[in-house]
Amino acid sequence: MKRILEGRAHVFGNNLDTDQIYPGQYLELVTAEEIGRHAMEGVDPRFVKNFRPGDIIVGGTNFGCGSSREHAAIALRAVGAGGIVAESFARIFYRNAVNLGLPVLVCPGVSRRVSSGDRLVVDLEKGRVRNATTGVEMEAEPLTEVVFEILESGGIKPLVKRQLAALHAQSR
Amino acid sequence: MHAIEKILARASGKDSVRAGEIVNCRVDLAEVNDLYPQTIHSFYEMGGRRVHSPDRITFILDHYAPASSIQQAENQKFMREFCREQGIELLFDVNSGVCHQVMVDHGLVYPGMVLIATDSHTTTHGALGAFGTGVGATDLAVILATGHLWLRVPEILRIHLTGRLSVGVYAKDVILHIIGRLGADYAIYKAVEFTGPVVKELSVSERMALCNMTTEMGAKCAYIQPDQVTLGFLKGKVKRNLEPVETDPDFQYAEELFFDVSAIPPQLAVPSSVDNVRPLSELVGTPVHQAYLGSCTGGRAEDLAVAARILKGRRVHKDTRLVVVPASRDVFLEALQRGDVAALVEAGATFVTPGCAACLGTHEGILAAGEVCIASTNRNFPGRMGHTQSAVYLGSPAAVAAAALNGRITDPCEILAELERKES
Ligand code: SF4
C-alpha cells in the first residue's frame, strides 16, 4: 500500500448512495473492467471520462450508503481511485473498500475545504490530509490496526490467502 | 452487557466485549444472494478449496428470480453448481422469495444467533433477537473460507416507543417518521434497539419492517428483545431450543430516544432520499403511475391482507397500475388461502414472482422517465426503481393500496375508518 496518496480531488455531496455510485441495472456484470465503466454513472455520467488513475474521491457524510453491493467499491477501484476521503462512510461500503485494498479515510470538514480539481496529499499512516492547492491542512481519524493490516496486505484476499496457506501447511 | 454484546461475546469465545472492540466471530449462518457470484470468485482467489461449514451457509436466488437475462441465468447457474460441489444443501432457488423472508419462513433465524448476509437489510433479523448484519461479497467469502468474520462491537442506541398507533398507521410509518427526524446517517456503525409498550404489541411482521429500515439510518444491526410474541411465532418453525439472551439491567446505552407514536399520522418518504419524510396528508392528490406492494419491508402476508381489505370489490384506478410481489412463497400461499390474492387480482393487480423484482430497479415493474411510484419498499434514491428521472414515494402497504384505488396519493386512514364503520 502507498502510505502517501497524491492526486486531484473529485468532490461529491452527502449521502452519496451505492445506486448512484453504481446503478442497479449493471449489477449482473462480473469483471472489474466492465464494472469500472459505469462508476458514478448515477450521479455523473461523465465521471469515468474525467477521472485519472490516482485521483482522490472526496465525499460528504454517509458516503456509500444504501445496498451492500461491492460493485460500488469495485467500480471506484477499477477506475484507479487512489483513495476516498469523506466526512463519514456507510459501514458496508467502508468494509468493502478496505477489503479490496482501496484506502478510505474519515476526515471531518473535508468536503467543505476541498473543491473538485484541487490537489490533495493524503498521509494514511499519520491521518493527515493536505489541500496542496489552498494550503489547508486537515486531521483525519487514524485507521484501526485491523484496517491498516488489511490495507497493507493489499486487501483481505491476500491476507486470508496467507492464513489459509499456513493452515493447509499445518494440516499436512 | 447488552444482549447484542453477549451474542458477540459468545460468538467470539469471550466472557465480555465492549463497544468499539474488534472481535472475530464465529458465524452461525452466512447467506449469499444471486447478486453476488463475486463471493465465489473471491473465495477461490483467497485459496479456498472447501467451504468451512456447509451447513452454516445458505444461497438464496432472489434478486433475479427468475432470471431475465442470459448473464443473470449464468450467474445463478454458477451458484447452483457451487452449492452442489461444496455440499451446501440450503440452496433456495428462484421459486422461494426474498432472502430475509425465506430465512425466517424456513426457521433458519433464531434469537441469539449471528447472521451475516450479502444484503444490507440483514438488520431485519433483530426483530427475532438475532444479531444480523450485511456485508459485501468479499467479507462473505472470508466466512465461506474460515467460518469467521471480524466485527466491531457497536454502540447501542435505544428507541423507546410509547402511545398507541392510530387506525391506518403502521410500523412503516413509525420508522419513516424516526428516520425523517434523525436523518439517514444518524446510526452509522451503531445498533438500534426498539423497546416500549408499542413494540410489545406489534406482530413479528411489523417488527421486521421496523428493524429492516434501521439500515436506512446507517445502523449495523437492530434488536428487539424476544418475548412471548417472538417465541410463539418461532415455535414449530425453529428446530432447536430457544434461548433468548437478555440485557443486564444496569446496561448503559450510548443514547436513548423517546417517541410517542400516538402523534404520528401516515408518513411518506418523498423523492429522492429516505430521510426526506413528510406527513402523507401534505401530499394527498399527487398522481401516481404505479403502486408497488412488495419487498422485505412491505411484502408480507399482513401487508397483502391490508391491501386486499382496501381493494376488495373495487378497481385499481385506470391511470395507475398495481404491482404486487409477495415476499416469499410462504407469504404467497398464505395470501392465496386467505383469498387476498384473488381480491387483489380481481381489483386489477399484476402479480410478480416472489423475490426482489423492481425494488432495486432490475426487473418486473421498473419505471420510465417522469413516472411516479408509491412503494412499500425501503429506498427511493434516484434511479432506485428504474429511470433516474422517475420518482418514488415510500409509504405503508395501506398507503400504497389507497393510492392504487384513487390513482393519487390518498390517506388510508379515511378508507379504513369507513370500512370499520360499515363492518360494525
Ligand atoms: S426486497 Fe429490495 S430491499 Fe429487500 S433484499 Fe430485495 S432488493 Fe433488497
Q: What are phi and psi of A147, to 5 degrees?
A: -65, -45
**How many structural domains is chain B composed of?**
2
Ligand 1 mean position to B98 CA, how many Å?
Answer: 7
Cell, residue A36: 469500472
Q: Are residues B103 and B246 in the same domain?
A: yes
Residues in chain A: 172
- B190 and B112, same domain (yes or no): yes
Q: For chain A, which residues make up each domain, given as ranges?
A: 4-170
The pLDDT, as a whole number, for residue A122 is 96
CATH of the domain at B90: 3.30.499.10
Ligand 1 cavity residues, CB under 6 Å: B 63, 98, 119, 121, 295-296, 356, 359-360, 377-378
Three-state SS string over A126-144 comes to CCEEEECCCCCEEECCCCC
The whole-angstrom separation of Cα A145 and Cα B21 is 11
Distance between terminal CA atoms of chain B? 49
| The Cα angle at residue A68 between residues B103 and A91, in degrees rounded to 5 | 110
B413 is in an annotated binding site: no
Is the domain of B105 the same as that of B64? yes
Domain membership flag for residue B12: no
| B58: phi then psi, degrees, rounded to nearest 5 | -135, 140
- Read out DSSP for B58-69? EEE--TTSSP-S
The answer on pLDDT for B217 being more than 80 is: yes
- Domain co-membership, B141 together with B218: yes
- Three-state SS at A117: coil
**Does residue B302 belong to any structural domain of this protein?**
yes
**C-alpha cell of residue A132:** 496542496
Cell digits of residue B284:
394527498
Contact A80, A52 (CB under 8 A): yes
Are β-strands A128-131 and A119-123 bridged in parallel, bridged antiparallel, or unpaired? Answer: antiparallel
Closest CA to A97 of A4, A20, A21: A21
Calculate mean pLDDT across residues A37-43: 95
Domain match, B327 and B360 both: yes
Amino acid found at A169: A
Tens of pLDDT, residues B37-60: 999 999 999 999 999 999 999 999
Q: Is residue B109 part of a domain?
A: yes
Categorize the per-residue pLDDT at A67 as very low, low, confident or very high, splitting at 50, 70 and 90. Answer: confident
Residue B421 confidence (pLDDT) above 80? yes
- The answer to whether B201 and B290 are in contact (CB under 8 A) is no
Digit-coded pLDDT (tens) for B381-393: 888 999 989 999 9
pLDDT higher than threshold 90 for residue A171: no
Same domain as B353, residue B248:
no
pLDDT tens for each residue of B72-83: 999 999 999 999
Query: Annotated binding residue at B359?
Result: yes
B294-307 mean pLDDT: 98
Confidence of residue A80 (pLDDT cuts 50, 70, 90): very high
To the nearest whole number, what is the mean pLDDT of chain B? Answer: 97
Contact A39, A84 (CB under 8 A): no
Contact between residue B227 and residue B200 where contact means Cβ atoms under 8 Å apart: yes
B99 annotated binding-site participant: no
pLDDT computed for residue A64 by the predictor: 96
Beta bridge partners of B29: B115
B122 part of a folded domain: yes
Q: What is the pLDDT of residues A142-160, one digit of tens each?
A: 999 999 999 999 999 999 9
Domain boundary pick from B205, B236, B259: B259
Q: Is residue B3 part of a domain?
A: no
Claim to verify: residue B191 and residue B283 sit in the same structural domain? no
Find the residue in B nearest to A25 (Cα).
Answer: B362
Distances (CA, A) of B96 to B153, B238, B355, B356, B368: 33, 18, 7, 11, 28
**Residue B218 domain flag:** yes
- How many C-alpha atoms does B36 have within 13 Å on its Cβ side? 31
Q: For helices B340-347 and B301-311, what crossing angle results, to 10°?
A: 50
Q: What is the mean pLDDT of residues B145-170?
A: 97
Q: How far is residue B165's CA from residue B173's CA, in Å, rounded to a whole number?
A: 10
Domain stop point among B228, B259, B290: B259
Domain residue limits at B390: 267-423
**3-state SS class at A121:** strand
The CA distance from B401 to A94, in Å, is: 38
In this structure, the answer to whether residues B224 and B296 fall within a common structural domain is no
**Mean pLDDT (chain A, rounded):** 94
Q: What tens digit of pLDDT does each residue of A10-33 get?
A: 999 999 999 899 998 899 898 999
Which residues in chain B are closer than 8 Å to A27, comparing Cβ atoms? 35, 63, 360, 362
DSSP A111: H
Cβ distance B255 to B168 under 8 Å?
no
On whether any CB of chain A is under 8 Å from the CB of B389, the answer is: no
User: Ligand 1: which of B36, B377, B392 to mutate, most ligand atoms within 8 Å of CB?
Assistant: B377
According to the model, what pLDDT value does residue B17 have? 97
Q: Are residues B233 and B362 in the same domain?
A: no
The pLDDT value recorded for residue B174 is 98
Other C-beta atoms closer than 10 Å to the C-beta of A154 total: 12
- Provide the sign of the torsion angle of the four alpha carbons B249, B253, B255, B257, taken in this order: negative
B36 — contact with chain A (CB < 8 Å)?
yes
Q: Cβ contact (<8 Å) for A19 and B361?
A: yes
Whether B8 is covered by a domain: the verdict is no
Q: Is the dihedral of CA A106, A112, A115, A118 positive or negative?
A: negative
- Please indicate whether residue A31 or residue B129 has the higher confidence score (pLDDT): B129
Look at residue A172 in the predicted model and tell me its pLDDT. 64
What cell does B47 get? 485459496
Looking at CA atoms only, how far is residue B390 from chain A in angstroms? 13
B185 part of a folded domain: yes
Q: Which of A74, A96, A164 sits opposite B46 (nearest CB)?
A: A164
Selecting from A17, A68, A144 the residue whose C-beta is nearest the C-beta of B136 gives: A68
pLDDT of res. A13: 95
A to B CB pairs, distance under 8 Å: 134
Does position B98 have pLDDT exceeding 80, yes or no?
yes
Q: What is the pLDDT of residue B298?
A: 98
The CATH code that applies to domain A4-170 is 3.20.19.10
The residue from B242, B259, B276 where one domain ends is B259
Contacts of residue B423, Cβ cutoff 8 Å, sequence gap at least 6: none
Checking if the pLDDT of B397 tops 90, the result is: yes
Q: What length does chain B have? A: 424
Do B272 and B412 lie in a common domain?
yes
Greater confidence (A66 vs B33) lies with B33
CB atoms within 10 A of CB A97: 28
Q: Can you tell me the distance from the alpha carbon of B138 to that of B145, in angstroms, rounded to the nearest whole number? A: 10
The grid cell for B234 is 418461532
Nine-digit cell at A140?
483525519
Given an 8 Å threshold on Cβ–Cβ distance, is A88 in contact with B184? Answer: no
Cα separation, A12 vs A143, in Å, equals: 22
Q: What angle do CA B91, B92, B95 make, to 5 degrees?
A: 150
| Same-domain check for residues B228 and B281 | no
> What is the H or E stretch that residue B9 is in?
helix B3-11
